[in-house]
Amino acid sequence: MDINGLAAVVTGAASGLGEATARALAAGGAIVAILDRNEEGAKAVADDLGAVGIGCDVANSASMEAAIQAAADAHGPARILVNCAGIGPAARVVGRDGPMDLQKFAQVININLIGTFNTLRLAAAAMEDLDALETGERGIIINTASVAAFEGQIGQAAYSASKGGVHAMTIPVARELARFGIRVLTIAP
């Protein structure tokens, strides 16, 4: 896929891997929307790239619907989605203060796994309606798992579970969306 001139959405793009991805896409000629819960950071990166910065919560349906729509309003429906939003706080299952707080576990699952799926489903729905490119493609979705999906360390139960879930959904989602010309893959840095 030649990304020059194509609309792209990157989550978690105010810093880290998401920011580096957004910068690489912009350098390749893509028109990038920088999405992050850190709206100020998203807008700062966007200003630097001549892009659009949007504050949002990947785990919140209404927030992501609004963010995907704002990105589409700014530069058309995205043909590229890269899900980089994620958190990785370390906590032992049973630590010095007793069992891990279940809300901390749920928060990691909500952002890393449910947030990835939430963004994926919304972007895919918009991509389905696009005309196919000359190559037959309508879009590409790249999710971010982690080596921790396969071999997590002590304190990474929540993170590993969330990234394992991202990995596990890749093949069924890729199979489902292939008929629309939407490629789905997951990287595991």
Q: Are 45 and 70 in contact (CB under 8 A)?
A: no
> Residue 138's pLDDT is what?
98
> Residue 97's pLDDT is what?
93
Q: Could you tell me the pLDDT band of residue 150, with boundaries at 50, 70 and 90? A: very high
Residues near 85 by Cβ (< 8 Å), separated by ≥ 6? 11, 12, 18, 35, 36, 37, 58, 111, 112, 115, 116, 119
Tens digit of pLDDT for each residue in 33-53? Answer: 999 999 999 999 999 999 999
Q: Is 22 exposed, middle or buried (0-12, 13-18, 19+ CB in 10 A)?
A: buried
> What 3-state class would DSSP assign to 98?
strand
CA 5 to chain centre: 20
> Residue 40's pLDDT is what?
98
Mean pLDDT of 28-37: 98
Mean pLDDT of 92-108: 96
Residues labelled as active-site residues: 159
CA 183 to chain centre: 14
> Residue 46's pLDDT is what?
98
